């Protein structure tokens, strides 16, 4: 989940939360509906003021639900294609589905991206049909449903803008990836188009503010442009990292370390012997020769200091519902995805049921920097006439 987020609920194994910025948008939407939109609708004139506010808040909540359904569509399709989904966070411009890893094929990326806008259009269609079925006298539900039709059409259309990483940008990247046969080229092209779109929106924002004097629309467009500009850069960065890590294996970075602790060890002993003396931040927990969890500095920090002598490793360790591990022959990219999926700082490396060591985020970052310094991509070139070894 993004920083500054509040977790709301869990659906189909996916955490749904809101970023604090969304609360501001929620208040703004409620306010603009209650003060601007609803009182000016002919059939709603003359209601008590509080009713406009209740109606505004209900409609804002329905907008919120529409965005969740849009994001759930992305997440569920991603899951059905074997990609991990960590969470959905609603923030200022809509939602973000936090996927662990990227699609391996352009067709997968295409379908995960396109299903979001299609879902928004489908919600608009359902609201439109429901609205048409209402009797003419039902002014209040008519106002709410009309707004839902409008806002979902807008959501679908905005997300189809071909600026990476918006849905439309991802669709465009999937196409460019198919044309060029290279994820890297496809991403560079899509990010370039994303920058063009972002600059276009920024310029349009300035034009509206400076020439047309339309401050509200101008700031809104400018903010979207600025957001897209940043998002295009960071998404490109992410793909470049994946490319750098191609060919790198877990075995390349893991330091052999078979320090383990038992689940019944008191925390104070763990801190003294394994953390302090071993200069480690995490230790695998093994019981009956089987890896049962990982205990980290973060887990221990949660426990009040006076309970360190009495509480045991087994009571605080992570991974009690199944430990995520990687093998030495797995790609570093896979280790990175495992770290991202669980929001871990390190993941244990296991071969044939035996613990080999632990690979940390810092290990992977060092490997990326090393490969960057050498400008190395893929596997190391071998001498042409090297004798068989
Ligand atoms: Zn989307």
Q: For residue 194, report the distance from its CA to the centre of ligand 1, in Å.
A: 15
User: Which letter does DSSP use for residue 257 in this model?
Assistant: -
pLDDT score recorded for residue 171: 92
Mean residue pLDDT across the chain: 83
pLDDT score recorded for residue 384: 67
pLDDT for residue 288 is more than 50: yes
Q: For residue 228, report the distance from its CA to the centre of ligand 1, in Å.
A: 14
pLDDT for residue 320 is more than 70: no
The answer, as to whether pTM is greater than 0.75, is: no
User: What is the three-class DSSP state of 79?
Assistant: helix
Side by side, the strands of the sheet bearing 354-360 are 255-256, 354-360, 346-351
How far apart are alpha carbons 30 and 147 in whole angstroms? 12
Distances (CA, A) of 338 to 195, 243, 280, 348: 30, 17, 20, 10
pLDDT score recorded for residue 283: 87
- Please give the helix or strand (H or E) that residue 138 lies within, else none: none
Share of the chain above pLDDT 90, in %: 11
Q: For residue 199, report the distance from its CA to the centre of ligand 1, in Å.
A: 21
pLDDT for residue 143 is more than 70: yes
Show me where the domains of the chain are located: 5-160, 250-373
How far apart are alpha carbons 162 and 257 in whole angstroms? 48
pLDDT score recorded for residue 1: 47
Q: Select from 3.10.580.10, 3.40.50.300, 3.30.70.3280, 1.25.40.10 the CATH code of 250-373.
A: 3.10.580.10
> What b-and-e string marks burial along 340-370, b requiring 16 or more CB atoms within 10 Å of the CB?
bbbebbbbbbbeeeebbbbbbeebbeebbee
Q: For residue 222, report the distance from its CA to the centre of ligand 1, in Å.
A: 20
Question: Helices (H), strands (E): how many in the chain?
Answer: 13, 9
Active-site option among 71, 109, 188, 242:
71
| Ranges 87-91, 181-185, 243-247, 377-381: which has the least confidence | 377-381
pLDDT-derived band of residue 170, with 50, 70 and 90 as boundaries?
Answer: confident
Count Cβ atoms below 10 Å from residue 306 Cβ, excluding itself: 7
pLDDT score recorded for residue 32: 85
Q: What is the mean pLDDT of residues 177-194?
A: 86
| Among 124-128, 266-270, 275-279, 319-323, the range of highest mean pLDDT | 124-128
Q: For residue 72, report the distance from its CA to the centre of ligand 1, in Å.
A: 9
pLDDT for residue 3 is more than 60: no
User: Which letter does DSSP use for residue 161 in this model?
Assistant: S
Q: What is the mean pLDDT of residues 321-337?
A: 83
Q: For residue 71, report the distance from its CA to the centre of ligand 1, in Å.
A: 6
**Tokens for 176?**
């460019």
Q: Is the bond preceding residue 165 a cis peptide, omega within 30 degrees?
A: yes
pLDDT for residue 129 is more than 50: yes
372 is catalytic: no
Distances (CA, A) of 260 to 102, 195, 289, 301: 33, 49, 10, 19
pLDDT for residue 2 is more than 60: no
pLDDT score recorded for residue 92: 59
How far apart are alpha carbons 146 and 144 in whole angstroms? 6
pLDDT for residue 260 is more than 90: no
129 or 374: whose pLDDT is higher?
A: 129
């Amino acid at each position: 989940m993004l920083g500054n987020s509040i977790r709301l609920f869990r659906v189909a194994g996916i955490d749904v939360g809101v970023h604090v910025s969304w609360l501001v948008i929620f208040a703004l939407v409620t306010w603009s509906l209650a003060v601007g939109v609803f009182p000016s609708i002919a059939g709603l004139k003359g209601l008590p003021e509080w009713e406009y506010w209740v109606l505004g808040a209900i409609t804002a909540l329905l907008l919120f639900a529409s965005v969740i359904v849009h994001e759930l569509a992305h997440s569920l399709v991603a899951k059905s294609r074997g990609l991990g989904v960590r969470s959905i966070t609603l923030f200022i411009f809509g939602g973000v589905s936090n996927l662990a890893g990227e699609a391996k094929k352009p067709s997968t990326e295409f379908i995960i991206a396109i299903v979001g806008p299609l879902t928004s259009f489908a919600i608009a269609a359902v609201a439109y049909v429901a609205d048409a079925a209402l009797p003419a006298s039902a002014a209040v539900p008519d106002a709410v449903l009309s707004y839902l039709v409008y806002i979902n059409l807008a959501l679908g259309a905005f997300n189809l803008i071909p600026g990476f990483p918006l849905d439309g940008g991802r669709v465009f990247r999937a196409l460019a990836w198919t044309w060029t046969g290279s994820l890297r080229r496809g991403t560079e092209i899509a990010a370039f188009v994303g920058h063009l779109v972002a600059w276009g929106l920024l310029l349009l924002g300035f034009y509206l503010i400076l020439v047309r004097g339309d401050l509200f629309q101008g700031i809104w467009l400018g903010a979207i442009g600025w957001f897209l500009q940043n998002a295009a850069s960071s998404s490109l960065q992410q793909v470049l990292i994946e490319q750098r890590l191609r060919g790198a294996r877990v075995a390349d970075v893991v330091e052999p370390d078979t320090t383990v602790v038992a689940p019944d060890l008191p925390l104070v002993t763990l801190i003294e012997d394994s953390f302090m003396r071993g200069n480690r931040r995490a230790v695998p927990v093994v019981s009956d020769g089987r890896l049962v969890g990982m205990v980290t500095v973060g887990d221990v920090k949660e426990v009040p200091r006076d309970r360190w002598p009495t509480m045991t490793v087994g009571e605080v360790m992570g991974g009690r519902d199944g430990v995520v591990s990687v093998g030495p022959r797995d790609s570093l990219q896979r280790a990175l995805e495992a770290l991202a999926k669980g929001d871990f700082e390190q993941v244990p490396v296991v071969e044939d049921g035996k613990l080999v060591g632990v690979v940390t985020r810092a290990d992977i970052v060092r490997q990326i920097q090393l490969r960057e310094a050498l400008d190395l991509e893929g596997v190391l070139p071998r001498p042409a006439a090297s004798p068989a070894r």
